[in-house]
A and B are shown apart, each in its own frame.
Chain A
Amino acid sequence: MFGRKSKSDHPRPDENFEPYEEFSGIPMPVYWIAIALAAWGAFMLYDTGKDVTLAQDERVEERAVQISADQGEGGNLFVANCSTCHQPDGEGLRGAVPPLAGSEVLAAGPEIVARILLRGIDGPIRVGGDDFDGHMPSFASALNDDEISRIASYVTLTFGETDAKLDPKRVADLRHEVGDAGSFAGGAELATIVTSMPPQPPHPAPTAADAMTATVQDLVFAGRDDVWACASCHGDLGQGGENTPRLAGQPAKYLTKQLNDFRDGTRDNESMQIVAAGLSDAETAALGAYFATLRATSNASPNLSADLARGERLALQGDWSLGVPACFTCHGSSGFGVAPDFPALAAQHAPYTASQLAAWAGGGRQNSPLGLMSQISQALSSQDRRAVADYLASLPPVPAGRTASAQEGTSNAE
């Protein structure tokens, strides 16, 4: 309408008109906007100084930790790989993990230690007069020849008072010699090469449960159709990582219940629902029992940058102002779990714990007894959930010592 009327008022411009600019000044508001933005920008840039300071302090701290860990040949490797179970002082855990200090095995020299590191131990063992149910994993794939030689030399020097050094080349030979011999069958087999060991308890004959474990191992390492290998995500030792949970050492019945819940749709997870759909009742029970017996060193770390002190308070004391009980009231005094309903929390990966707490809070997960976890998680803020997840990830994992059957026995007794 406007255009039609003005068509005659505005004769079509000359085809030869050439574009040009007039010499008007810059409008005043543009100056004000430019000055305001410049001030804001300068402040923002000046303010990044704070972040840089923060990052630098953190780096200095990390380096200090690194330097202290590096002290002593093999010391840092011992701290990272061995001390979680055998403890930093090498005293072990009474009734659970054999001591290194004063052990006859260490007195036998670094070569024996290297053999044990390469093969692991699976079976009863008597050390210093006490019996232990030995479950030491093999470190053959986790450590290289040099690392094994350094650890073996370090522990024999520190705890066995033998200053013999082991050459990495010798470890390579040992690795070749050991081949795929599998774990030492308890102290009984070890005693055949360490003559100074006291009389060892006999290695138990394989049972029906062990036979089931063999078929389950196929499931764990090879998988079957839609049941892809457990180890492909949860690791060879059920240690998990990031948002994939650690399964090693969880109560057998807890794991079995979770698998059954995935299968029934009571617990939601896109991957696990597909996997569990292909498992029979017998298999979920056997898988639960299998992972309950596994032991793995902690590979979790408090990596959510949350407030560890707050996490510790929540885990140990709870926060009654929020109506949140201490985690350890139900999950055991060290977060090692209480069969059959309460899983181990210690050394669980922080992202997994935090995401599960969030799922309880948001209703994405609802399969806890009496809806306990839903209430607790809803009461926690997002920071609290991350804080407690970080703290739990910093704890040592469930120690060795209880077989699947022993665990079921305990729970029955309770």
Chain B
Amino acid sequence: MPVTLGLLLALSFVVSLLALAFLIWAIANRQITIDQHDAETVFEAGEVRGDAGEEAHPHRFDPVQAGIDQISARPVLVLIAAATFWLVAGSVFGLIASLKLHWPDWLDFAAPLTFGRMRTLHLNLVIYGWLSQAGVASVMWIIPRIFHTPSRRPQLIIWGALLWNIGVTLGAVAIARGWTDGEEWLEIPWQVDIFLAAGGACFIAPLIQTTRARQVHHIYVSGWYFLAAILWFPVLFVVANLPLYGGAQEATINWWFAHNVLGLWLTPLGVGAAYYFIPKIIGKPIYSYAVSLLGFWGLALFYSQVGIHHLIGGPVPTWLVTLSVVHSVMMFIPVIAVAINQHVTVAMNLWALRESIPLRFISFGAVMYTLASFQGSIEALRSVNTITHFTQYTVGHAHLGAYAFVSLVMFGAIYQILPRATGRVFPWPGLLKLHFWLVVIGFAIYFLALSIGGVLQGLAMLDATRPFRDSVEVVLPYLQARSVGGTLMTLGHLVFALNLLGLAFMTRDESASTVAAE
């Protein structure tokens, strides 16, 4: 009987891998034949080839002429404005929380200013306020462009943004007043979550309508990631917020959700945006369709089981944890696939990094996705987790994923979208570079400090012959370094907000062709 369980797990794992391989093989072959067939059709009917350049170059499309950007612009701008507001607020709270770790008596006169609430506010505002809205803005911008059809119901999206921001505001007030659901990443009370769910529904409905009305046969890889994300996230969010669970079961659901928010919501938003903007800015195609299939379906198969590695050593069945560890390590496959597709394209066109600040943000973020995922796979191994669990190392890793990867991609995406959505240029191009260097240097300090400090902290805690206090004292200088890095990052965000304000209030309208040279 127990042998059967191990055997059953191993067999179902192998079978699912074979099914995945078959799926990718089948889709890749079918797509190739159809595409060649389509191409032949185009050539046979190719009398128009000489006069219309558009037909001769199937990979060209003018979204401005098609009236697509014009319709997307308003909802996208609303989402970006709200996201930027929450980014600034969230990073100020994060900085306060960081300073409190080495100045424990600072700002101790009111309950909302205590560490527990500051940190929680930081987490919820940057996830739901900043990253989610910036990601949805990119989706709203890119989906109509790759589907060659204007966004449906743009007004509903604006209503959705309104509801979503009401939800985030109420959630922040609830957390500051000490009313939470008591689980990490799910602190916003479920009563308030109803606003977020309703707002999310107002994003999803127009996207599905736009998708159904698409004018293209082949869905570009960004489209898969975006469509999957907007289907996965509501399921995760609603299931995890149902007030039904208790005890170890609750913890399991909690970490299933918390890790999947990263992997099945923020990651597809970030990877999808990078997949669109990298070739778009460089003007060269992505390396391989088959590899992007492997990346996408690998993520879909492996990621959903990853979260339980947060409960290694906890009171959950061992096989469940092992399954999670195995799936965490299997994430190497989709990550390598994405890395091949994105980094090869950038590496063969390094000139573009000098010319385009947005590309600099996006490709830096894409490299960080690779690193964060590799680190995460290794961190999930029991032998490594023993040291890093319950230490600042985990915090460093979380920021490598959510900040250096997703946030940087979003900065780049916003810098790329805004001039095209408004027809204006940034008044101070130098400040874009300043923003880049502030957040990159700030993050480097932040990440290195927490990774080194976290390992030292973990080793101190593992050594029973050392008092617990040692583990606190050893990490102290690294916590101070983290505050320095965090300050630079927060300054970078203020510069980012300033750039957006400058674009809104300081420039005259200019033609789109000047925009391209920014």
Contact = CB atoms under 8 A, between A and B. Distances in A.
B517 A268 contact: no
B3 interface: yes
Given A19-B220, A19-B279, A23-B288, A361 B330 contact: no
Contact of A26 (B4, B288, B323): B288
Nearest to A49: B6
Q: Report the interface size class on chain B.
A: 35 or more
A34 B5 CA distance: 24
Contacts of A176: none
A359 B283 contact: no
A48 B3 contact: no
A21 B292 contact: yes
Interface stretch (A39-47, A69-77, A257-265, A305-313): A39-47
A13 B282 contact: yes
B291 interface: yes
Contacts of A270: 469
A49 B292 contact: no
A270 B63 CA distance: 67
Nearest to B4: A49
Given A45-B10, A45-B322, A49-B7, A27 B340 contact: yes
B466 A362 contact: yes
A270 B467 CA distance: 10
Nearest to A53: B2
A406 B512 CA distance: 98
A16 interface: yes
B2 A52 contact: yes
Given A26-B294, A48-B319, A10 B349 contact: yes
A42 B14 contact: yes
Contact of B288 (A24, A355, A361): A24
Contacts of A354: 464
B431 interface: no
A51 B318 contact: yes
B413 interface: no
Given A19-B275, A45-B6, A37 B288 contact: no
A10 B9 contact: no
Contacts of B82: none
Contacts of A382: 464
A15 B2 CA distance: 61
A188 B463 CA distance: 55
Given A33-B332, A48-B322, A14 B60 contact: yes
A42 B327 CA distance: 11
A241 to B, nearest CB: 18
Contact of A358 (B2, B276, B464): B464
A22 B6 contact: no
Interface in B349-407: 349-355
Contact of A44 (B146, B278, B322, B350): B322
Nearest to A9: B351
A17 B517 contact: no
A362 B463 contact: yes
Contacts of A16: 60-63
B287 A22 contact: yes
A412 interface: no
Nearest to B466: A362
A50 B13 CA distance: 18
A208 interface: no
A14 B63 CA distance: 12
Nearest to B291: A26
Nearest to B142: A19
B333 interface: yes
B329 interface: yes
B460 to A, nearest CB: 11
**Which has the most chain B C-beta neighbours within 10 Å: A3, A25, A52, A268?**
A52
**Which has the most chain B C-beta neighbours within 10 Å: A37, A268, A355, A361?**
A37
A30 B35 CA distance: 25
A17 B3 CA distance: 56
Nearest to A19: B279
Contact of A48 (B5, B62, B288, B516): B5
Contacts of B32: 23
Given A3-B350, A18-B61, A41 B288 contact: no
A192 interface: no
B350 A2 contact: yes
A219 to B, nearest CB: 27
Nearest to A29: B336
A50 to B, nearest CB: 7
B274 to A, nearest CB: 11
Given A17-B280, A354-B464, A40 B329 contact: yes
B287 A21 contact: yes
A16 B512 CA distance: 12
Contacts of B352: 10
B325 A44 contact: yes
Contact of A46 (B6, B60, B332): B6
B466 A364 contact: yes
A55 B318 contact: yes
A22 B9 contact: no
B337 interface: yes
Contacts of A23: 32, 35, 288-290
Contact of B59 (A9, A18, A51): A18
Contacts of B220: 19-21
A26 B292 CA distance: 9
Contact of A24 (B291, B326, B329): B291
Interface string A345-362: 000000000110011011
Nearest to B6: A49
A350 to B, nearest CB: 13
**Which has the most chain A C-beta neighbours within 10 Å: B354, B465, B466?**
B465
B239 interface: no
Interface in B39-63: 59-63
B353 A3 contact: yes
Given A18-B60, A19-B285, A363-B465, 19 more contacts: A2-B351, A3-B350, A3-B354, A7-B351, A10-B351, A12-B283, A12-B516, A13-B283, A16-B60, A17-B279, A20-B220, A21-B341, A22-B287, A37-B332, A38-B17, A45-B319, A49-B4, A362-B463, A364-B467
Interface of B: 1-7, 9-10, 13-14, 17, 32, 35, 59-63, 146, 220-222, 275-276, 278-292, 294, 318-319, 322-323, 325-327, 329-330, 332-333, 336-337, 340-341, 349-355, 463-467, 469, 512-513, 516-517
Query: Considering the complex of A and B, which 4 residue pairs feature the smallest CB-CB distances, nearest first?
Result: A13-B283, A49-B6, A362-B465, A3-B354
20 contacts: A3-B351, A10-B351, A12-B283, A12-B516, A17-B283, A18-B146, A19-B285, A20-B220, A20-B286, A23-B35, A24-B288, A30-B294, A34-B333, A38-B13, A38-B17, A45-B323, A48-B319, A49-B6, A52-B6, A363-B465
